[in-house]
């Protein structure tokens, strides 16, 4: 064994450096761990405890699984789950498809043009959700002066109460998502497209592949990890949708746009039933986790990140 | 060198992490407040009272500093700290503070919310801390709204009666004797006939499109139910036997009335903003709900139109706003829906001291009476409900039509009485049925997706589930 200064072996010297590096490493991650524990783990643990209480700011009462049992017979809870699933099924795949198509269309442009389009599509994500909802409320106004009613009026159709009728209320929220939620997805897809080796396309050109064949046989398989990621994150955020329903329809009409997120909010802050709200939130969290796991299992078999 | 770089980086990361804890700090100046330990304080020792207030009137926020200074001048050892909140988020802000165990001492709320906070155990009973002089200053009716059971949980600021607003020009053109109705009331059949006449009435500057525009979109949905149900023989959600009344056939009649109004041309889908816009632009004869302050708003817009001020509502025409009572139905006596907003008092996890509670009452009374109340109520066109405010009201004159003032007095004389004896837990269940069943189903009814009978059946089922078959009215 080669010896360094002071009789310390090289291996011992490297081991000392490694230990010192380890200490610094732990110190650096400790900050993130502390923040995670304080702002994520502690609220989750607290929510679990509150979900088994009839919560009161002065003195809570332990009720065990009563809050969970109550949910089994709560028709509104099941309706909200149904509404949330419908909203998710209608928005997530369509939004991903629209984002993918936009990314494919933007991709051939020069870099400065790509950047311009990315910025334009990302603008709604930067704008305040409340401001967006106020604008959409005007667009969906039930009066003939509402923008959509003016548009359909051109075709001789009657003004609609877009947010006040069951047949159009959910569609109105879905349409709002279709038209304004693509910025992040487009940017991620373009980054994925940039990662596809050019020689694949050259080989396809040699084989006289058409545009759609290139997309089908090269692009789609190569961006599959990105698609899976966007599906998982899209479903997670769509299951937690709250602001649109809260600001635009307040869950109506007839609770047909009451999502689970809005129901949790109402139970917590309108009725001060924090125990019930916590139970609903935990069930939602478990549902999201299970769906994400299933997605990774069925869609992510061949994918490695 | 590497160590120094690592150390510097670590310090920067810690600073970044520490900024996340910024909002978690306590007050810089330790003061005795409702969440402090119950150490005894002498009556003359410094004390701070915290109040969470929305912009009660447009001018109220501008006066906040003066209000706080005036309070401190009257009580040199007391400091009133006012936290401003918007109308939209004041309840969420209050609930967050309540659930954290550190609510403000005073919050400006509708009296209908007192039961919720009594149920949570955070509303502070001030019965033994309000002096006899304070109590005797108030009119009995609005003060009763601030009670729950035997306790008094705050002091009222004003009492507003919800009615219907009428366009004077259109009503006269349609041959409606509005002056008589203002102080004698009318039945639903008379109102419906007027609504039918109200579309297509020609005025000097405009022609009406609707007989009635009633805001029911969003949070205003329950306004129709509340104000019409009260005048249909159901002045409260619970009758004198504390049984839930919306299972009565009278409630079915109210729902049928709503459908009839829609069939007769009323627009019942507007938002609050649209409702008022349509009134000011001369597109409707009646608007609902109608508040006293609308007369002030209409006059202000008329003045702008006269002065050719560009900030007048686009497309608006001069309109004379007339206060009209809500019609009665089912042969019932009038019981007009009263909204009493006031300064509700709170306690935190730690019980406040006796001296602090007396100081909180002093602050509530200061805000809810005398010049403060007179000035705020003048902004709102609301009638003063304390003797001291009435004594001070000459300093804040308001230009009000004599007919409207007479109508408001008639409405207040026939206001639905407060029911503080209704247990808070029953009120909480009633609120839940209103929010989870009545409002959603009413939205579907207005969209003509369900019939009044279907809605009534749903309310009946929910009421039986909440109160049991013995806890509801059965016709």
Partner B contacted by A257 (CB < 8 A):
no
- The Cα-based distances of B428 to A71, A272, B112 in angstroms read 19, 10, 10
Predicted confidence at residue A203, as pLDDT, reads 92
Which residues are paired to B340 by β-bridges? B159
Partner B contacted by A274 (CB < 8 A):
yes
Contacts A269 to B, Cβ<8 Å: 91-92, 95
Tell me the three state secondary structure of residue B282: coil
Q: What residue of B is the nearest CA neighbor of A27?
A: B10
**B14/A31 touch (CB, cutoff 8 Å), yes or no:** yes
Better pLDDT: A59 or B64:
B64
Q: For an interface test with B, which of A143, A144, A147, A265 has the most B Cβ atoms less than 10 Å from its Cβ?
A: A143
Better pLDDT: B221 or B107:
B107
Predicted confidence at residue B214, as pLDDT, reads 94
CB nearest to A58's CB, from B122, B274, B447: B122
Q: In the structure encoding, which two tokens stand for residue A189, read together?
A: 């897809």
Proportion of chain B above pLDDT 70, given as a percent = 94
Look up residue B437 and give its DSSP letter. Answer: I
Contacts A253 to B, Cβ<8 Å: 440, 443-444, 446-447, 449
Residue B239 φ/ψ region, left for φ over 0, alpha for ψ in the -120 to 50 degree band, beta for the rest: beta
Predicted confidence at residue B220, as pLDDT, reads 80
| CB B416, CB B336: distance < 8 Å | yes
Contacts B6 to A, Cβ<8 Å: 24, 27-28
- Measure the CA–CA gap between B81 and B71, rounded to whole angstroms: 10
- Measure the CA–CA gap between B444 and B216, rounded to whole angstroms: 11
| CB B111, CB B146: distance < 8 Å | yes
**B443/A252 touch (CB, cutoff 8 Å), yes or no:** yes
Tell me the three state secondary structure of residue B245: coil
The answer to whether the peptide bond before residue B178 is cis (omega within 30 degrees of 0) is no
CB nearest to A271's CB, from B99, B432, B439: B432
* ipTM for this model: 0.79
- For residue B41, pLDDT over 70 is answered with no
Average pLDDT rounded to a whole number, residues B33-48: 61
Report the gap between the CA of A263 and the closest CA in chain B (Å): 10
- Measure the CA–CA gap between B152 and B361, rounded to whole angstroms: 11
The ranges of chain A with pLDDT < 50 are: 1-4
Q: CB atoms < 10 A from the CB of A291, how many?
A: 17
| CB B340, CB B159: distance < 8 Å | yes
Look up residue B470 and give its DSSP letter. Answer: G
| CB A144, CB A212: distance < 8 Å | no
Contacts A134 to B, Cβ<8 Å: none
- Measure the CA–CA gap between A121 and B443, rounded to whole angstroms: 35
Model confidence at B32, pLDDT cuts 50, 70, 90, reads very low
Domain boundaries, chain A: 5-50, 69-299
Predicted confidence at residue B24, as pLDDT, reads 56
**Are β-strands B338-345 and A53-54 bridged in parallel, bridged antiparallel, or unpaired?**
unpaired
Which residues are paired to B202 by β-bridges? B207
Tell me the per-residue pLDDT of B398-419, one tens digit each, with 9 for 90 and over. Answer: 888 999 999 998 999 999 999 9
Tell me the per-residue pLDDT of B136-169, one tens digit each, with 9 for 90 and over. Answer: 999 999 999 999 999 999 999 999 999 999 999 9
Partner B contacted by A131 (CB < 8 A):
no
Q: Which helix (H) or strand (E) holds B212?
A: strand B210-215
- Measure the CA–CA gap between B302 and B295, rounded to whole angstroms: 10
Better pLDDT: A123 or B230:
B230
**Can you list the positions of beta strands (E) in B106-162?**
106-110, 147-148, 151-152, 154-161
Contacts A255 to B, Cβ<8 Å: 436, 440
Level-2 CATH architecture, domain A69-299: Orthogonal Bundle (1.10)
Report the gap between the CA of A259 and the closest CA in chain B (Å): 13
Q: For an interface test with A, which of B8, B434, B440 has the most A Cβ atoms less than 10 Å from its Cβ?
A: B440
Are B47-161+339-413 and B172-335+423-471 equal in CATH topology? yes
Report the gap between the CA of A254 and the closest CA in chain B (Å): 4
Q: Which helix (H) or strand (E) holds B324?
A: strand B321-324
Tell me the three state secondary structure of residue B321: strand
Q: Which of A126-130, B9-13, B43-47, B123-127 has the lowest mean pLDDT?
A: B9-13
- Measure the CA–CA gap between A258 and A76, rounded to whole angstroms: 8
- Measure the CA–CA gap between B371 and B388, rounded to whole angstroms: 8
- For residue B4, pLDDT over 80 is answered with no
- Measure the CA–CA gap between B143 and B340, rounded to whole angstroms: 9
Model confidence at B23, pLDDT cuts 50, 70, 90, reads low
Cα–Cα–Cα angle for B200, B206, B209, rounded to 5 degrees: 35
**A142/B269 touch (CB, cutoff 8 Å), yes or no:** yes
- For residue B305, pLDDT over 90 is answered with yes
Look up residue B317 and give its DSSP letter. Answer: -
Q: What residue of B is the nearest CA neighbor of A20?
A: B3
Q: Which of A36-50, B25-39, B315-329 has the lowest mean pLDDT?
A: B25-39
- For residue B273, pLDDT over 80 is answered with yes
Residues of chain B that touch chain A, judged by Cβ-Cβ distance less than 8 Å? 6, 9-10, 13-14, 16-17, 20, 91-92, 95, 98-101, 116, 119-122, 217-219, 221, 269-271, 274, 278, 348-349, 428, 431-432, 435-436, 439-441, 443-444, 446-447, 449-450
Q: CB atoms < 10 A from the CB of A117, how many?
A: 17
- For residue B35, pLDDT over 60 is answered with no
Q: What residue of A is the nearest CA neighbor of B450?
A: A254
Contacts A160 to B, Cβ<8 Å: none
Partner B contacted by A225 (CB < 8 A):
no
**B435/A266 touch (CB, cutoff 8 Å), yes or no:** yes
Return the sign of the alpha-carbon dihedral for residues B211, B212, B213, B216: negative
Closest to B151 in 3D by CA, of B118, B177, B111, B120: B118
Domain boundaries, chain B: 47-161+339-413, 172-335+423-471
| CB B385, CB B393: distance < 8 Å | no
Query: What backbone phi and psi angles, to 5 degrees, belong to A79?
Result: -65, -40
Report the gap between the CA of B96 and the closest CA in chain A (Å): 8
Predicted confidence at residue A12, as pLDDT, reads 62
- Measure the CA–CA gap between A208 and B349, rounded to whole angstroms: 76
Of the candidate CATH numbers 3.40.50.150, 3.40.50.1820, 3.40.50.360, 3.40.190.10, the domain formed by B47-161+339-413 belongs to 3.40.190.10
**A253/B447 touch (CB, cutoff 8 Å), yes or no:** yes
**B98/A57 touch (CB, cutoff 8 Å), yes or no:** yes
| CB B203, CB B175: distance < 8 Å | no
Predicted confidence at residue B293, as pLDDT, reads 82
Predicted confidence at residue B39, as pLDDT, reads 47
**A57/B349 touch (CB, cutoff 8 Å), yes or no:** yes
Predicted confidence at residue B382, as pLDDT, reads 86
Predicted confidence at residue B36, as pLDDT, reads 39
CB nearest to B436's CB, from A28, A55, A76: A76
Proportion of chain B above pLDDT 90, given as a percent = 71
Better pLDDT: A91 or B381:
A91
Q: CB atoms < 10 A from the CB of B298, how many?
A: 21
Average pLDDT rounded to a whole number, residues B363-383: 91
Query: What backbone phi and psi angles, to 5 degrees, belong to B3?
Result: -60, -45
Domain B172-335+423-471 has CATH 3.40.190.10: yes
Number of residue pairs across A and B with CB atoms under 8 Å? 98
Query: What backbone phi and psi angles, to 5 degrees, belong to A280?
Result: -65, -40
Q: In the structure encoding, which two tokens stand for residue B39, read together?
A: 């150490």
Contacts A39 to B, Cβ<8 Å: 20
Q: Hunting for tokens 């149904």 — which residue is that?
A: A82
Query: Could you write out the DSSP letters of every residue in chain A?
Result: --B-GGG-BHHHHHHHHHHHHHHHHHHHHHHHHHHHIIIIIHHHHHHHHHTTEE--SS--EE-TTHHHHHHHT-HHHHHHHHHHHHHHHHHHHHHHHHHHHHHHHHTTS-HHHHHHHHHHHHHHHHS-HHHHHHHHHHHT-SSTTSHHHHHHHHTTPPP--TTTSHHHHHHHHHHHHHHH--HHHHHHHHHHHHTS-HHHHHHHHHTT--HHHHIIIIIHHHTHHHHHHHHHHHHHHHHT--HHIIIIITT-STTTT--HHHHHHIIIIIS--HHHHHHHHHHHHHHHHHHHHHHHHHH-TT---
Report the gap between the CA of B135 and the closest CA in chain A (Å): 29
Average pLDDT rounded to a whole number, residues B273-295: 92
Report the gap between the CA of A183 and the closest CA in chain B (Å): 28
Instruction: Please give the order of strands across the beta sheet that includes B163-167.
Output: B267-270, B210-215, B284-290, B163-167, B321-324
**A56/B428 touch (CB, cutoff 8 Å), yes or no:** no
- Measure the CA–CA gap between B178 and B163, rounded to whole angstroms: 13
- Measure the CA–CA gap between B20 and A38, rounded to whole angstroms: 11
- For residue B33, pLDDT over 60 is answered with no
- The Cα-based distances of A159 to A140, B268, B362 in angstroms read 10, 14, 54
- For residue B331, pLDDT over 90 is answered with yes
| CB B435, CB B429: distance < 8 Å | no
**A142/B100 touch (CB, cutoff 8 Å), yes or no:** no
The answer to whether the peptide bond before residue A116 is cis (omega within 30 degrees of 0) is no
Query: What backbone phi and psi angles, to 5 degrees, belong to A180?
Result: -140, 15
- The Cα-based distances of B8 to A16, A21, A32, A68, B21 in angstroms read 22, 15, 16, 49, 21
The gap from C-alpha A224 to its chain's centroid, in whole angstroms, comes to 18
Predicted confidence at residue A52, as pLDDT, reads 95
Please classify residue B247 by burial: count the beta carbons closer than 10 Å to its beta carbon, then call 0-12 exposed, 13-18 middle and 19+ buried. buried
Model confidence at B27, pLDDT cuts 50, 70, 90, reads very low
The gap from C-alpha A62 to its chain's centroid, in whole angstroms, comes to 34
**A166/B447 touch (CB, cutoff 8 Å), yes or no:** yes
Q: In the structure encoding, which two tokens stand for residue B453, read together?
A: 């009978």
CB nearest to B269's CB, from A161, A258, A270: A161
């Amino acid at each position: 064994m080669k010896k360094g200064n002071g009789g310390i072996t090289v291996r011992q010297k490297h081991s000392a450096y490694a230990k010192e590096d380890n200490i610094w490493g732990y110190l650096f991650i400790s900050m993130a761990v502390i923040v995670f524990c304080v702002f994520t783990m502690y609220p989750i643990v607290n929510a679990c405890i509150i979900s088994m209480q009839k919560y009161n700011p002065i003195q809570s009462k332990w009720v065990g699984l009563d809050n969970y049992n109550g949910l089994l017979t709560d028709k509104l809870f099941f309706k909200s789950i149904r509404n949330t699933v419908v909203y998710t099924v209608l928005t997530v795949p369509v939004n991903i498809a629209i984002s993918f198509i936009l990314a494919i269309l933007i991709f051939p442009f020069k870099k400065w043009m790509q950047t311009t389009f990315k910025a334009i599509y990302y603008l709604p994500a930067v704008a305040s959700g409340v401001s967006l909802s106020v604008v959409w409320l005007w667009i969906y106004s039930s009066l003939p002066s509402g923008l959509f009613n003016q548009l359909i009026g051109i075709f001789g159709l009657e003004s609609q109460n877009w947010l006040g009728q069951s047949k159009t209320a959910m569609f109105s929220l879905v349409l709002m998502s279709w038209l304004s939620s693509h910025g992040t997805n487009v940017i991620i897809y373009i980054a994925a497209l940039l990662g596809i080796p050019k020689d694949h396309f050259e080989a396809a050109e040699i084989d006289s592949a058409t545009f759609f064949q290139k997309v089908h046989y090269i692009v789609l398989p190569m961006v599959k990890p990105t698609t899976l990621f966007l599906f998982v994150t899209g479903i997670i955020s769509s299951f937690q949708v709250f602001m649109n329903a809260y600001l635009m329809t307040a869950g109506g009409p007839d609770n047909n746009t009451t999502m689970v997120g809005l129901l949790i909010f109402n139970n917590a802050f309108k009725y001060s039933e924090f125990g019930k709200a916590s139970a609903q939130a935990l069930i939602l969290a478990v549902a999201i986790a299970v769906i994400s796991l299933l997605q990774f299992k069925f869609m992510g078999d061949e994918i490695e990140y | 060198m590497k160590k120094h770089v690592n150390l510097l980086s670590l310090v920067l990361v810690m600073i970044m992490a520490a900024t996340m804890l910024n909002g978690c700090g306590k007050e810089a100046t330790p003061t005795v407040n409702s969440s402090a330990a119950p150490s005894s304080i002498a009556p003359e020792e410094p004390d701070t009272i915290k109040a969470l207030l929305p912009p009660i009137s447009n001018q109220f926020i501008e006066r906040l500093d003066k209000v706080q200074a005036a309070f401190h001048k009257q009580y040199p050892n007391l400091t009133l700290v006012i936290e401003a909140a918007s109308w939209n988020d004041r309840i969420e802000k209050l609930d967050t503070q309540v659930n954290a165990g550190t609510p403000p001492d005073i919050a400006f709320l509708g009296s209908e919310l007192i039961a919720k906070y009594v149920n949570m155990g955070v509303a502070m009973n001030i019965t033994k801390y309000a002096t006899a002089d304070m109590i005797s200053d108030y009119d009995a009716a609005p003060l009763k709204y601030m009670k729950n059971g035997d306790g008094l949980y705050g002091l009222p600021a004003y009492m507003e009666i919800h009615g219907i607003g009428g366009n004077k020009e259109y009503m006269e053109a349609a041959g409606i004797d509005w002056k008589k109705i203002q102080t004698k009331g009318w039945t639903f059949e008379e109102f419906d006939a007027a609504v039918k006449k109200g579309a297509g009435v020609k005025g000097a500057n405009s022609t009406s499109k609707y007989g009635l525009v009633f805001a029911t979109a969003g949070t205003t949905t329950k306004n129709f139910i509340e104000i019409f149900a009260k005048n249909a023989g159901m002045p409260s959600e619970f009758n004198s036997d504390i049984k839930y009344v919306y299972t009565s056939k009278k409630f079915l009649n109210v729902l049928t009335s709503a459908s009839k109004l829609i069939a007769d041309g009323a627009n019942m889908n507007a938002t609050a903003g649209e409702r008022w816009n349509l009134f000011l632009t001369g597109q409707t004869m009646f608007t609902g709900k109608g508040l006293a302050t609308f007369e002030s708003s209409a006059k202000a817009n008329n003045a702008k139109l006269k002065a050719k001020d560009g900030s007048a509502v686009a497309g608006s025409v001069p309109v004379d706003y007339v206060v009209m009572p809500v019609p009665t139905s089912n042969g019932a006596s009038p019981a007009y829906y009263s909204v009493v907003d006031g300064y509700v008092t709170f306690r935190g996890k730690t019980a406040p001291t006796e001296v602090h509670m007396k100081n909180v009452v002093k602050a509530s009374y200061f805000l809810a009476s005398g010049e403060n109340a007179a000035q705020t109520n003048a902004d709102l066109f609301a009638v003063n409900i304390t003797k001291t405010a009435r004594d001070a009201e000459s300093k804040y004159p308001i230009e009000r039509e004599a007919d409207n003032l007479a109508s408001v007095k008639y409405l207040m004389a026939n206001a639905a009485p407060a029911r503080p004896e209704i247990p808070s837990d029953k009120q909480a269940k009633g609120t839940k049925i209103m929010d989870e069943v009545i409002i959603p189903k009413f939205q579907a009814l207005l969209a003509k997706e369900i019939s009044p009978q279907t809605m009534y059946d749903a309310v009946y089922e929910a009421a039986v589930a909440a109160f049991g078959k013995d806890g509801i009215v059965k016709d």
